[in-house]
Structure 1
Amino acid sequence: MLDERKLEVLRAIVEDYVATQEPVGSKALADRHNLGVSPATIRNDMAVLEEEGYITQPHTSAGRVPTDKGYRLFVDRLTTVKPLSAAERRAIQTFLDGAVDLDDVVNRTVRLLAQLTQQVAIVQYPSLTRSTVRHIELLHLPANRILMVVITNTGRVEQRTVEVTDQVDDDLLANLRSRLNSTLVGKRLTEAPQLIAKVPEQFPPEERGAIAGVLSTLLDALVEHQDERFALGGTANLARFGQDFKHSIRPVLEALEEQVVLLKLLGEATDTTQLTVRIGHENPYENLSSTSLVAVGYGPKDEVIAKLGVVGPTRMDYPGTMGAVRAVARYVGKIVAGA
């Protein structure tokens, strides 16, 4: 266990390295920070921090830089994250309040996060498995087709076109629409298979064949293809940190293009609104071992229906990034709740 003075030295090294991008020496720490001890004492503390693996010397006669272990201790010891200013909070609310639908909310959120943090922003669309049905619409189309529209409580819209062989007249379609809404509205999509299976019993036998295709397509939309969708923005921001990636920025960009990587990076949404910070080699992919992730869940009230976050180099302004991610998630959660 490190004493408070050594923790203060580590904090100062992290802050200076993030700000200057230069290895930090003992004299610079003594000049910039009110540590209350001499440069010689700071050098001794730095030697202990290096021996314990919290900092390292990139080359001879250079100052020290934090390691993944050092960043982890710095983050774990943070007592507060950097709050956004009143002007920033108003700007976030105004920008997000202008969204017209879920796609617009997600796209605006990605742009906003990337701009606030100057990192790569990732926003997961609300998971269908955690959503409930708000409304189901059925509309006739030409050539024996039916347009089915499913709207969830988060504003997500799923559309399918159903080819029907048996004639479904307006009265039958209206009856089916009514019964589906009375059965499914307010229910989680994970409950859909059991509930839909009981719908044919509400119709006379001669009409069940005509509605079978509609119900099959509805199941397909709600259950079988509960795809996870993501929006990504701000990848150009990584170019500003090219020197932070030991060999090349290309592996990082390639990893971020993979859907499965994004899913594993954010992880499945859980019932927690606690910030997740994964640093360097804590990330599940080797190509992202030079990056850090700051993520949090969002949703109505205390319910998490998806996650959002940012990815950037380990040399990151953690207090500021954590504050921005948390603030944006809260606003998005309120918007989704009122969708």
Structure 2
Amino acid sequence: MTARQRAILHLLVEEYIKTKAPVPSARLAEGLGLSPALARYELIALEEMGYLTKPHASAGRVPTRQGFRQYSLSLLPPKPLPESVQARLERALSGAKEPEAFLVKVAVGLSGYPALLRLRPRKTPKVLQVHLSPLAENTLAVFVLEGGRVKEARLPLALSPERLREAEAVLAGPFSELPPPPRGLEDLFAHLARALNAGLSLSYREGLAEALKEPEAQNPGFLERLVQLYEAGGEEVLTPPGRVDVRVGEVEGLAQVQAGFAKGEWLGELTLIGPMRMRYPEALSVALGLTQVYTGVHAG
């Protein structure tokens, strides 16, 4: 991609984010001081490369997933939040009774997008024992962890007492990771792994109503996928501390801006969720800036 093609693509993406409508070639030619013929020529080239598409023969063009991704990655590393904003956030966070809950509220307020904060311990505590009890239609799992912590979970499986005793024998601790499941108990061990991960993690969510303001929310499929992502248990690997990721279209129609961090004994990740037509510059700055303030690390 040439520098001129990159400039055209970035202007088109920014116009589309702003207007929510296909962008005509005349607008790009005017914005970049190009002749209409040259603008059309470069747009055809970008379309052939997969960065743009034309929804209707007479309409302008819109970015594809590939186009949004190229644009968003070009914004890394993000611009830092203004120092005055950082200073206000520091004061507010230091006085907050629940800093994590406050953090996601601020993320929503500054970005205009739903926010999800996930925290996991740096070191997973060892499991000393696992007790499994049959219920009417479920199985009760009780994890006894080092340090005296106990976690309970109801698993959506109904198994015989004999099978549960077989599983308990395999789960005799201590262990840091679940051992391989016996034949026929793969589903039980998969549920145990999810329950254990969820029991060790903390999550904070805020701002789902912000998604309803987006035109894309008129599409029931878009809204369903967004809610599922927002409510997800967070079993995925966290973004590494100090890194910012952009995930465009991995879930159809959605974009995620994620900033990883470390604080004390915890690893964490702040995620902003929106449509692919996301305001990436603001979202990236907010995600990185808030995690820096939260952990006491500031951009130069």
Name the TM-score, length of structure 2 as normaliser. Answer: 0.71
Question: In the TM superposition, what is the alpha-carbon distance from 1:74 to its structure 2 partner?
Answer: 1.2
> In structure 1, how many angstroms separate the alpha carbons of the residues matched to 2:145 and 2:85?
47
Matched with 1:127 is: 120
Structure 1 contact 245–313 (Cα < 8 Å) conserved:
no
**Unaligned ranges ≥5, structure 2:** 129-143, 152-175, 177-194
Contact 1:273/1:304 (8 A) holds in 2 = no
**Which amino acid letter does the alignment assign opposite residue 13 of structure 2?**
V
Partners of 1:64 and 1:111 lie apart in 2 by 35
Residues 218 and 94 of structure 1: is their aligned pair in 2 closer, same or farther, counting only changes over 3 Å?
same
Alpha-carbon distance, 1:232 to partner: 1.0
- Cα distance change of structure 1 residues 245 and 293 upon mapping to structure 2, 3 Å threshold: farther
Structure 1 residue 254, shift from structure 2 partner: 3.6
Which residue does the alignment assign to 2:109? Answer: 115
What is the distance in 1 between the residues matched to 2:226 and 2:214? 13
Deviation, 1:23, is: 1.1
Pair 293,304 (structure 1): closer, same or farther in 2 beyond 3 Å:
farther
Say if 2:288 is the partner of 1:315. Answer: no
Relative to 1, partners in 2 of residues 1:3 and 1:227: Cα closer, same or farther, differing over 3 Å? Answer: same
- Aligned match of 1:49: 46
- Alpha-carbon distance in structure 1 between the residues aligned to 2:42 and 2:49: 11
Contact 2:239–2:258 at 8 Å: present in 1 too?
Answer: no
- Does residue 190 of the first structure (1) align with residue 187 of the second (2)? no
Corresponding residue number in structure 2 for 1:172 = none
- Verify: 1:97 aligned to 2:94, yes or no: yes
Pick aligned residue for 2:150 from 208, 220, 228: 220
Describe the shift of the 1:236–1:96 C-alpha distance in structure 2 as closer, same or farther (beyond 3 A). same
Distance across 2 between alignment mates of 1:247 and 1:191: 43
Q: C-alpha displacement at 1:256, in angstroms?
A: 3.4
Aligned to 2:75: 78
Per the alignment, in what secondary structure is the counterpart of residue 231 of structure 1?
A: strand
Identity %: 28
SS in 2 for 1:298: strand
The amino acid of 2:209's aligned partner reads A
- What's the counterpart of residue 29 of structure 2? 30
Match of 1:190, as an amino acid? P
1:241 partner letter: E
Q: Select 1:326's aligned residue among 276, 284, 288.
A: 288
Out of 238, 250, 262, the position equivalent to 1:269 is: 238
Q: How does 1:10-25 map to 2 (within 5 A)?
A: 10-25=9-24
Residues 123 and 243 of structure 1: CA distance in aligned 2, closer, same or farther (over 3 Å):
same
| Contact persistence 1:244–1:315 (CA under 8 A) | no
Pick closer, same or farther for the CA change 1:334–1:82 going to 2, 3 Å: closer
Q: Which runs of 5+ in 1 are unaligned?
A: 131-187, 194-213, 284-288
Query: Per-residue displacement from partner, 1:117-164 (whole Å, max 9, x unpaired)?
Result: 10010001x313x1xxxxxxxxxxxxxxxxxxxxxxxxxxxxxxxxxx
Contact 1:57/1:64 (8 A) holds in 2: yes
Alignment of 1:171-250 (within 5 A): 188=123, 190=125, 218-220=148-150, 225=196, 226-243=199-216, 246-250=219-223
1:66-110 per-residue CA deviation (whole Å, 9 max, x = no partner) reads 11000111123335524322332223222212223xxx1111011
Would you say the 8 A contact 2:78–2:288 is kept in 1? no
- Contact 1:242 1:248 (C-alpha < 8 Å) held by counterparts: no
Assess, with a 3 A threshold, how the Cα gap between structure 1 residues 290 and 270 changes in structure 2: closer, same or farther. closer
State the distance in 2 between where 1:120 and 1:28 align: 32
Aligned partners of 1:30, 1:244: CA distance in 2, in Å? 32
- How far does the alpha carbon of each residue in 1:182-221 deviate from its partner, in whole angstroms, 9 at most, with x for none? xxxxxx553686xxxxxxxxxxxxxxxxxxxx99880536
* Structure-1 residue corresponding to 2:180: none
Match for 2:6: what amino acid? L
Cα distance between partner residues in 1 of 2:145 and 2:33: 73
2:258 match: 295
Answer whether contact 1:298 1:307 (CA < 8 A) is retained. Answer: yes
| Structure 1 position 334, deviation (Å) | 2.7
Distance 1:28 1:304, change over 3 A: farther
Q: Distance in 1 between matches of 2:257 and 2:89?
A: 19
Higher helix share: 1
Let me know the Cα RMSD of the aligned residues.
Answer: 3.0
Q: Judge conservation of contact 1:242–1:249 (CA < 8 Å) in 2.
A: no
The change in CA–CA distance for 1:80 and 1:273 in structure 2 (over 3 A counts) is closer
**Cα distance change on mapping 1:21 and 1:248 into 2, 3 Å:** same
Larger radius of gyration: 1
